[in-house]
Amino acid sequence: MVDIPIVLISSCPEPGSPPSQGTPGRQDFVCPGATSSSNPCPATRSHSQTLPDAPLTTSPEGPARDMQPTMKFVMDTSKYWFKPSITREQAIELLRKEEPGAFIVRDSSSYRGSFGLALKVPEAPAPAQNRTGEDSSDLIRHFLIESSAKGVHLKGADEEPYFGSLSAFVCQHSIMALALPCKLVIPKKELGGGDGASDLSADGRASCLKKSAGCHALYLSSVSVETLSGALAVQKAISTTLERDVLPTPTVVHFKVTKQGITLTDIQRKVFFRRHYPFATLRFCGMDPKQRKWQKYCKPSRIFGFVAKSQTESQENVCHLFAEFDTVQPASQVISLVGALLQDPERM
């Protein structure tokens, strides 16, 4: 057992103390939340316990058996354990034949902006702890990871700290189980025996159109770009924003893309509650052509945006700007899906 230092999200050290051990009050559906000092983002001003940044040696295949995994290893393997678009049933199938500790993190379909954690456990819970209708022989447990101004947190586990990112949550729980039934085992390959290539097949665009994509992002501002569209509109909107005397304060939002359009949910409900932009109004989505980065209240993060028809001026477009919130959830997934949907012949 190691002591985990307590630090501010801004990485300013505070006196540390080890987290308490225990199990959440409700063991049938709990949610872990994780933050990382490597991802200090805006609106997170409370304390959170994170791993020290001391480098640790790992083998080419992954961390050594007796050594703690590094944040870099956790982020490098996120393609194996972070599956935002899969369903609860698909997660169960992927984990069914895996060893205890195997897990998947996905977007929660019931709680917008939160995440579902599916975890293979060593033994089934006692019948009294099972939810109604659940098979007691099922070794796949489900937990909820909530997002808030403090970071991400395991729902129902008050003794657990808040984490700044999913990577930090996974890294910590791979060292200590804390309120989970067992420690997480970080995968070194695709779960369920897959090779992960299905999403990038020759028919990638067609399969992409059947899916949704989502990520947490920092909403920066919305800027009128007149009749501009495409990358130039994003470039102009970013320049206009960065030239302001007072830069906007970003807020964490959940950025969801489906065939119906883009839906933004303000996690903290600071600026708005929810906004939806139908695909008929969308013109473009992409990264900053000049590759500038946002640095206010967070580490340098890539800026991206999407251009949509103005809801008030029919002849004008508006560019909505964002910065990446977590390296585990890059903007590239939502940008790629928007691009594929905009080029869909059926939509045209």
Q: Mind listing the pLDDT tens digit for each residue in 290-344?
A: 999 998 877 889 999 999 999 888 889 999 999 998 877 788 888 988 998 888 7
Say if 235 falls within a structural domain. yes
For residues 193-202, average pLDDT: 46
User: 175 φ, ψ to 5°?
Assistant: -100, -45
Q: Are residues 77 and 154 in the same domain?
A: yes
The values of phi and psi at residue 131, to 5°, are -75, 155
Which carries the bigger pLDDT value, residue 135 or residue 114? Answer: 114
Top-confidence range, 124-138, 221-235, 267-281: 221-235
Q: Are residues 336 and 222 in the same domain?
A: yes
Does residue 217 sit in the same domain as residue 171?
no
Whether 182 and 121 have beta carbons less than 8 Å apart is answered as: yes
Q: Is the domain of 78 the same as that of 167?
A: yes
Number of domains in the chain: 2
Is a pLDDT exceeding 60 seen at residue 6?
no
**CATH number of the domain that residue 263 is part of:** 2.30.29.30
pLDDT of residue 90: 84
On whether residue 239 sits in a domain, the answer given is yes
Q: Which of 65-79, 125-139, 295-309 has the lowest mean pLDDT?
A: 125-139
**170, 217: one domain:** no
Residue with the bigger pLDDT between 166 and 51: it is 166
Q: How much is the pLDDT for 236?
A: 96
170 lies in the same domain as 218: no
Residue 20 included in any domain: no
- Whether residue 169 is found in the same domain as residue 216: no
Q: Residue 224 pLDDT more than 90?
A: yes
Per-residue DSSP letter, 13? B
Place of tokens 């703690």: 68
Q: What percent of the chain has pLDDT over 70?
A: 70
168 & 218 share domain: no
pLDDT value of residue 148: 82
Q: Residue 192's pLDDT is what? A: 76
Residue 304 covered by a domain: yes
Residue 307 and residue 217 share a domain: yes
Asked if 75 and 157 sit in the same domain, the reply is yes
Q: Of the spans 102-116, 173-187, 261-275, which averages the highest pLDDT?
A: 173-187
Residue 195, pLDDT score: 52
Q: Would the pTM count as exceeding 0.85?
A: no
Give the confidence band of 267 by pLDDT, cuts at 50, 70, 90: confident
User: pLDDT category, 40, cuts 50, 70, 90?
Assistant: very low
Residues 240 and 335 grouped into a single domain = yes
pLDDT bin (cut points 50, 70, 90) of residue 170 is very high
pLDDT score at 278 = 92
> Based on the domain organization, do 160 and 263 belong to the same domain?
no
- Evaluate if residue 41 carries a pLDDT over 80: no
Question: In terms of pLDDT, which residue wins out, 183 or 133?
Answer: 183
- The stretch 19-32 carries a mean pLDDT of 38
In a domain, 127, yes or no: no
> How distant is the alpha carbon of residue 207 from its chain centre?
22
What's the domain range around 284? 212-343
d(CA 235, CA 229): 10
Residue 276 is predicted with a pLDDT of 92
Task: Return the pLDDT at 1.
Answer: 40
Residue 347 has a pLDDT of 54
And the tokens for 347? 């939509």
Average pLDDT over residues 153-178: 91
Q: What is the CATH number of the domain that holds 110?
A: 3.30.505.10
Write b or e for each residue in 196-232: b if 16 or more Cβ atoms lie within 10 A of its Cβ, otherwise e.
Answer: eeeeeeeeeeeebbebbbbbbbbbbbbbbbeebbebe
Is the pLDDT score of 348 beyond 70?
no
